[in-house]
Amino acid sequence: MRLLRLRRIVLSLLFCLLTVTPAALPAQTPVQTPTAHAVDKSTPAYTLPPETLHKAIAYSRARTTLGFVSTAWGILQLLLLLTLGVVYRMRNVAVNLSRNRWSQAGIFLLELLIVTGLFDLPLGLFGHHLAVAYGQSVQSWPSWFGDQAKTFLLTYGIAFMLVMALFWTIRNFPRRWWLVFWAVSMVFVLAGVFISPYVIDPLFNHFESLGASNPALVDRLEQVVHRAGVTIPPQRMFLMQASAKVTGLNAYVTGFGASKRVVVWDTTLAKATPDQIQYIFGHELGHYVLNHIPLGITFTALVLLVSFYIGFRAVQWLIARYGRTWRVPTQLDWGALVIMLLVLSTIGFLTQPITNAFSRWEEHQADIFGQEAIHSLVPDPAATARTAFQVLGETSLADPDPSPLVVFWTYSHPSIPDRAAFARDYNPWVPGQTPRYFKK
């Protein structure tokens, strides 16, 4: 499992509006409950000026194409490695260099990661070039290559432990290894989610206490916490220095238990009004209060269980059908790892709409929670949320009219136009309506 997929479980995208100096954020006095406001539905809730619209459409198409090409190339390269006998040769190198199973696993995995890494490098280079060209990244090439090196080492270390666990389960539970390895994998997932804020995230970005740099902001965030009736210590609020690498806006909830925390990017603080920052935090507080991390882990566990079972059946069939051609005689052969990766990569692509639909559902619930959480704290929660999506879209070059198929297959969040329209129209405090998470 790739490191970025593990991290994706616990990340969520947020948004902000306009420019303000974070240190100058004043304390906010609760305002009067807003009355029903007229909503103009004749114009789109999210629009872009012509020049920005052209760039957004071009960038969206390029990213979408790159995403599908990268996925297809990742699957095709595994098939080519098997068909051309490269996997068989790599397996022979590992076996000839050592009789120790651990050493063989380490050698074979290193060969595999180097080969696939070189195959993926051109697309990775183009992806970073694309982000820089469209103003989404300011990261230098040396810094980018440094991140790739750290990612490679982390992937190798985690993958080595998983590979050894996989072949141990295959050896000891030849017909039930998919179930045993699923349990082992979930231990890795839980451990990864827990330690990521402590170990993995700081390797790529600098974090500091939000209270230390923005005490006035923490006071405003605590207003939202108090309204939600929960407790989040200021020690669990962090500022991430994202501006050294990207221009986008983001905030997220990560970790669980003692490692659970809220992280806000400095790019978000640099461009958000006090009202918008409270909305941003309200959205993230929604993930916290609504237990989206444990829900996400549970959902991931179910998807992995089904995927591993289908993968087990598919691997057995492929070895029986093509094992002689690929020179992978049994599921205990190191080459079987590539067959398993081929199968799981294909399953992952086919189940992507399901996992993204679940993610979009969670994000929509957090949108609702955030808008309700700032009720009585800002003059107009609907306008605050809608304009936040407007600026997020302008900053990230979000397409105002994305393809429904692309949204269905690849979007982990509802589209910006849909989120902006919902925010504009949502006002559960008018007569006849009922808030979902807060009492009137």
Calpha distance 388→392 (Å, rounded):
6
Residue 88: both structure tokens together: 């068989």
- Answer yes or no: are the C-beta atoms of 293 and 287 closer than 8 Å: yes
- Range from 266-275, 291-300, 371-380 carrying the lowest mean pLDDT: 266-275
Which sign does the torsion angle of CA 33, 283, 234, 225 carry?
positive
- pLDDT exceeding 90 applies to what percent of the chain? 76
Give the pLDDT of residue 37: 53
**Model pTM score:** 0.86
For residue 29, name the pLDDT band (cuts at 50, 70, 90).
very low
Q: Where are the domains of the chain?
A: 3-22+46-425
Residue 302: both structure tokens together: 């179910």
- How does pLDDT run across 198-211, given as a tens digit for each residue? 999 999 999 999 98
3-state secondary structure of 264: strand
Give the pLDDT of residue 40: 63
Whether 33 has a pLDDT exceeding 50, the answer reads no
Whether 399 has a pLDDT exceeding 90, the answer reads yes
Distances (CA, A) of 12 to 69, 238, 264: 24, 15, 11
Which sign does the torsion angle of CA 7, 12, 15, 19 carry?
negative
